[in-house]
Amino acid sequence: MRRHILISVFTGSLAVGAAAPLLQHAIAAPRADRLAKEEHHWTDAERARDALDHLKKAHAQLDVIKHDRSDANVNDAIKEIDKASEHVDKFIADVDKAKK
């Protein structure tokens, strides 16, 4: 009896493990299509805000690297991200000012 339960649990876990990637793809593909369609209708300001979010994330990741080790390339990259963030902020401010 106990052996049958163990075999059932084992085969069930194998079946779920084998089906998981298929289910994930079935769920993720429509979501990716929807996001791609939504992104197509973004305004320039929305795209700039999204880019700014990515720049902030990149800055945070480089700060972690900088904390772990000091490297001139990392410092230069952080400076360039700061410059890019300033330009994107200025662009967003100009777009928002033009809307008003």
Sign of CA pseudo-dihedral 39, 40, 46, 48: positive
**Mean pLDDT, all residues of the chain:** 78
Q: What is the pLDDT of residues 43-78, one digit of tens each?
A: 888 999 999 999 999 999 999 988 888 788 889 999
pLDDT of residue 93: 93
- Pair 78, 34: CB distance under 8 Å: no
Range of weakest confidence among 3-17, 29-43, 62-76: 3-17
- Pair 54, 45: CB distance under 8 Å: no
Q: What is d(CA 81, CA 54) in angstroms, rounded to the nearest whole number?
A: 10
